[in-house]
Structure 1
């Protein structure tokens, strides 16, 4: 049995979000960005995580000693984030249009969520909001995929058992080859006894090359591009299609 495709997938399945991301090493990602911040940052520890979801990265930054907070457009996610991080502040807001009361030293956006800026103009708004929210020498760190390197037939897949049900999660990028839009295709299959439910969704996202992104960032930031490897810090090899952008406010 299948439910209809809906853009409210994450709202409907917010209770399964952590299960869907169970294989993500949040600690390694958080620690890697902390190391980058130590190298490039201003030594301050006011942190905001954009598109924070249920708050796993915020939890790690709190444990590192940061004054960490989160922002997301999904209220059910934020309720779970608050349970995980009761000492943190969470804000229901679009990351393309936000402001802060106190300037920040580090802004992060993990899990390719920067692409949720649907279109180049929205991405520009996000970059401007980040710039205005950061202290001088503040750092904006995020991971991103180059539209020209996307393999449309490539999927990431994993399974999980939860609450007497078997889950199969798969996701992959799709880019038509032109324009500023790509999509994230997501499939979730849940089997309980002999009944199977299938959710299929496609999220519109901004598409751009690393070169195009660097041009957008350079008026605001000193831009450093690193390999998408959370175990070591290496400059991007100009070949791979995934990278970690570390941007220091000028």
Structure 2
């Protein structure tokens, strides 16, 4: 999934996303599992908001994203905040030629944008290849419960001063997948008129057991599965599932 005009409006629309909770999760897991290094690869880094906050926390961050538009926004933001992030345009399922990292993360349910089992398995294999021995692989995904009960047939809306959207969710082509139809309106300051843009985002998730199997096949040791930023115990109605794995 690549982003077009949406890349330049993303931060305004997602300003309530609790990035600080992801930072806290990363810090806690790194401390708990004895990761000393601070070299971190942020896959599907988007506009770089999380990457920048991680840099603020002392990490040496490389950001990878499929969208050149997202990376352009990330570069400008990082420079404004005094960070020199290495930003690379790549598909995470075809990751190659990068350094070895202490931590690799795929956050904000970005893994759910991969539509096939093969793409997820390939991503896990590429992550394994780019981790140092003992390095951590951290990622979160939407639960099957959230996909089928909180997204399907739902409509969400946001009405801001300069940006508004209508977000409709429909059953996707694959099992446990959803199609997000986004229509958003942006006020053009030059013309004082609203411009309409439409985008389709598709996400798919899999069972916890399936992710466990793929991690094992890729060579990882699964350390922990948690829910909702470690704030609650994993249960049938957990919405966001977090995985912590280590390269053997």
Normalised by the length of structure 1, the TM-score is 0.83
1:227 aligns with 2:205: no
The structure 1 segments of at least 4 consecutive aligned residues displaced by more than 4 Å after TM superposition are 191-198, 232-235
Number of residue-to-residue matches in the alignment = 236
1:37 aligns with 2:37: no
> Contact conserved, 1:19 with 1:160, CA < 8 A, in 2?
no
Look up the match of 1:28: 21
Q: Structure 1 residues 191 and 75, CA, compared in 2 at 3 Å: closer, same or farther?
A: closer
Selected match of 1:15 from 8, 28, 48: 8
Selected match of 2:76 from 74, 83, 90: 83
Selected match of 1:240 from 221, 238, 247: 238
Structure 1 residue runs of 5 or longer lacking an equivalent are: 1-6
- 1:208 offset after TM fit, Å? 1.4
Higher relative contact order (CA 8 A, sep 6+): 1
- 1:161 offset after TM fit, Å? 2.2
Q: Structure 1 residues 238 and 22, CA, compared in 2 at 3 Å: closer, same or farther?
A: same
Selected match of 1:116 from 97, 113, 118: 113
- 1:154 offset after TM fit, Å? 3.8
Look up the match of 1:211: 209
> Contact conserved, 2:183 with 2:198, CA < 8 A, in 1?
yes
Normalised by the length of structure 2, the TM-score is 0.83
- 1:99 offset after TM fit, Å? 2.3
Residues 172-221 of structure 1, C-alpha deviations (whole Å, 9 max, x = no match): 47456xx4572340423316599665444333334311111111112322
Look up the match of 1:189: 184
1:208 counterpart SS class: coil
Structure 2 residue runs of 5 or longer lacking an equivalent are: none
